[in-house]
């Protein structure tokens, strides 16, 4: 394995294991990683939309791949600029859900939705892609209660239907970060420091804004 690729992948694994899995931010992360269903590629220099699209198509074509991650360790640009690139890539890959992760995302605890970018504070900019068919299977909406059931809910006799699974996860994550903020921030800072040291050692260009 190329040493530069190995370091980028090692740091990505630190983020997945020490942040996402340790704080249970995504219930599917650990099974995908341990089951060999996570496919990763690393792009060097300043890749553009076409580079991300090509890499993603190759990863998603793998039979075992349920989650694809395209990492760009040397890519310069703000979270806003990277989000715009994500939007452009998503247009080219309509069969996949595309999420952007960026190491400069700021913490915003005002709501579960506004916290999401911070939870995606990976060591390097990356795009995560998941086939929409898989997302649909895990995000199926809860059944609509009939009129009798609605009356029971309003009267306090029955429980209200559960939130959409993504909303449930976002709500739980928000509470977790509020409780464990200091530990999470310290772990992210340690990963960032590890990145600076290891990338300098193996010759990976580092965006000086980080």
- Let me know if 200 is exposed, middle or buried by CB neighbors in 10 A (0-12, 13-18, 19+): exposed
Output the pTM of the full model. Answer: 0.84
Q: What is the DSSP letter of 62?
A: S
Compute the average pLDDT of residues 174-185: 94
Angle of helix 49-60 versus helix 79-92 axis, rounded to 10: 60
Greater confidence, 167 or 201? Answer: 201
67-71 and 38-42 as β-strands: parallel, antiparallel, unpaired?
A: parallel
Query: In the prediction, which pLDDT does 168 show?
Result: 86
Query: In the prediction, which pLDDT does 138 show?
Result: 55
**pLDDT tops 90 at residue 135:** no
Q: Which of 117, 125, 127 is nearest to 73 (CA)?
A: 125
């Amino acid at each position: 394995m190329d040493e530069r690729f190995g370091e980028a992948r090692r740091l990505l694994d630190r983020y997945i294991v020490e942040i996402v899995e340790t704080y249970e931010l995504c219930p599917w992360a650990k099974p995908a990683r341990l089951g060999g269903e996570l496919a990763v590629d690393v792009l060097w220099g300043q890749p553009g939309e076409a580079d991300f699209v090509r890499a993603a198509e190759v990863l998603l074509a793998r039979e075992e791949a349920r989650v694809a991650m395209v990492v760009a360790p040397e890519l310069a640009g703000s979270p806003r600029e990277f989000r715009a690139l994500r939007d452009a890539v998503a247009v080219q890959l309509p069969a996949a859900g595309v999420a952007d992760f960026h190491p400069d995302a700021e913490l915003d605890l005002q709501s579960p939705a506004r916290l999401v970018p911070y939870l995606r504070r990976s060591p390097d900019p990356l795009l995560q892609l998941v086939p929409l068919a898989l997302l649909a299977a895990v995000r199926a909406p809860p059944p609509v209660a009939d009129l009798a059931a609605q009356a029971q809910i309003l009267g306090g006799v029955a429980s209200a239907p559960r939130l959409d699974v993504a909303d449930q996860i976002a709500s739980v994550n928000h509470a977790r970060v509020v409780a464990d903020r200091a530990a999470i921030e310290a772990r992210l800072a340690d990963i960032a420091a590890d990145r600076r040291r290891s990338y300098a050692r193996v010759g990976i260009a580092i965006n000086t804004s980080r």
